[in-house]
Amino acid sequence: MTTLTEVKSWLGEGWEMRWGPPPRGVSLLKEFHMADPAEVEPLCRRGEAVVVYIVASVEDLNVIYGRVKPRVTSCPTATFIRRFRWGEAAEAVKTLVEFALKVDKVPLFQINPEVVRYAGLCGEYPLLCEEPDVVVEALRRRLGRRGNPQVVQPRGGGWALDELVKVLREKIELDAAFAEVVKKVAEDPERLRMCYA
């Protein structure tokens, strides 16, 4: 869990911290991937958590990054906010995306592609803006141009493998029973392939 000091340090100058929930706005993360406040309240009661939101306020639009859905909660809540001019929308959203990816280690697919498109950042984050089948086809074409039509076997450290590991860790943290599912898939991968046939 990221501490308030780490958040302040990473964001740098120009960000104001205040206690309380964020203003209304659009979420950087897809809501499906955000924790429900009821899930974190037990941590708060033990004094182990502060819910943190980072808000880039671009004119009349607030873009909000946070791992917990912004609802009423008994948890202490800190909101970091900075105002940006309309021409700084890309910088504002990029700050939130980079924080999510680099500091909180959020998997790329959890980020709302509409927010990235709105900010004009598809050139920097093409995997967010394109449909998955388009990305796969582009990779196939690129491999074909290199004269290397072989199937590439993933080796440790690849982007896709890293993303998969993040997703699996997160699922196992939320539901320990999911570890059994992963174990069964690892024991018999053909069984999983049959599900998609």
Identify whether residues 120 and 161 lie together within a single domain: no
If one counts every other C-beta atom within 10 angstroms of the C-beta of residue 173, the result is 9
Identify whether residues 112 and 186 lie together within a single domain: no
Identify whether residues 120 and 41 lie together within a single domain: yes
| Number of domains observed in the structure of the chain | 2
For the cut 90, the answer to whether the pLDDT of residue 2 exceeds it is: no
Nearest-10 crossing angle of helices 159-174, 178-187: 140
| 113 in a structural domain | yes
Identify whether residues 21 and 114 lie together within a single domain: yes
* Coil/strand/helix, residue 168: helix
Domain membership of residue 174 as a residue range: 157-197
Handedness of CA 113, 3, 160, 165 (dihedral sign): negative
Residue 93 pLDDT level (bands cut at 50, 70, 90): very high
Identify whether residues 44 and 118 lie together within a single domain: yes
Q: What is the pLDDT of residue 173?
A: 60
| 17 in a structural domain | yes
| 122 in a structural domain | yes
Q: Residue 87 has which token pair? A: 């021409």
% of the chain beyond a pLDDT of 90: 43
Read off the pLDDT of residues 33-75 as tens digits, 9 standing for 90 and up.
898 888 888 888 887 778 999 999 998 899 999 999 998 888 8
User: Is the CB of residue 56 less than 8 Å from the CB of residue 116?
Assistant: no
Q: What is the pLDDT of residue 49?
A: 79
Identify whether residues 116 and 180 lie together within a single domain: no
User: Is the CB of residue 189 less than 8 Å from the CB of residue 195?
Assistant: no
